[in-house]
Amino acid sequence: MRSMRIVVWIVLAAAIATEYGCNDNNPAAPRSTPGGKSYTEKYTCNEQFGGVPPTTCPDLNVVDEIAFTATGTDTYEVRDVPDSGFLMTGTMAGDVFTWSATSPNGYTETGTWTFSSDHSSFSGSSHYVANDNSYAGDCNETGLQGTTAPADPPSPPGCP
C-alpha cells in the first residue's frame, strides 16, 4: 500500500509541475507583451489626393518614439512620445497587433503589425484616409524596443 501512495504522489507531482510552468508549451505561462514598453518606430508612406495619381511620398523613413499602455487583457493604447494627440488603440492576438488610430491632423488610420516572439520588434503596414476624404495613403512601419532606430521599412507603391 505504501509503494502505491508513493507512485500516486510522484504522478501527482509530475502533473502539477507540467501544468504550472515546467512545460514550455504551457499556455498559462507568462508571456511577453508590449504593455509598458517604448519603441522607436520608422515609417514610410505614400499619398494620393482625391484618389488619383500622381502618388507622392511625404514621409520617407520618418523616426518617432511610441509607448504602449495596456488597457485590458491584450488591448492597448499607443501614443507618440511626447504625446502629439495621435492615439492608436488595438488588440494583440498572439504576436499580431491590429489597430486603428485618430489623428488631430484630420485623418484616421488602420493597420496590422506582427511582433517578434519576445515583442522586441515589429513590422507591418497601415492605410490612412482624411476625414474629408480629400487624400489617402499607405504606410509601412518597422519598430524596435528602446531608442535604437529600426531597419528601413519597405517602400509602399509609388515611393522610391
pLDDT in tens, the chain (160 residues): 444 444 333 333 333 333 334 434 445 545 678 989 999 999 999 999 987 888 999 999 999 999 999 999 999 999 999 999 999 999 999 999 999 999 999 999 999 999 999 999 999 999 999 999 999 999 999 999 999 999 999 999 999 8
Report angle CA 19, 20, 21 to the nearest 5 degrees.
Answer: 110
Phi, psi of 32 (to 5 degrees): -70, 145
Domain with CATH 2.40.128.420 in the chain: 38-145
Q: Which residues contact residue 133 at a Cβ distance below 8 angstroms, ignoring those fewer than 6 apart?
A: none
Please give the CATH architecture assigned to the domain spanning 38-145.
Beta Barrel (2.40)
Spell out where the chain has E strands.
Answer: 38-49, 52-72, 75-81, 87-93, 96-103, 107-115, 121-130, 135-145
Q: How far apart are CA 140 and CA 82, in angstroms?
A: 22
Amino acid at the residue 110: T
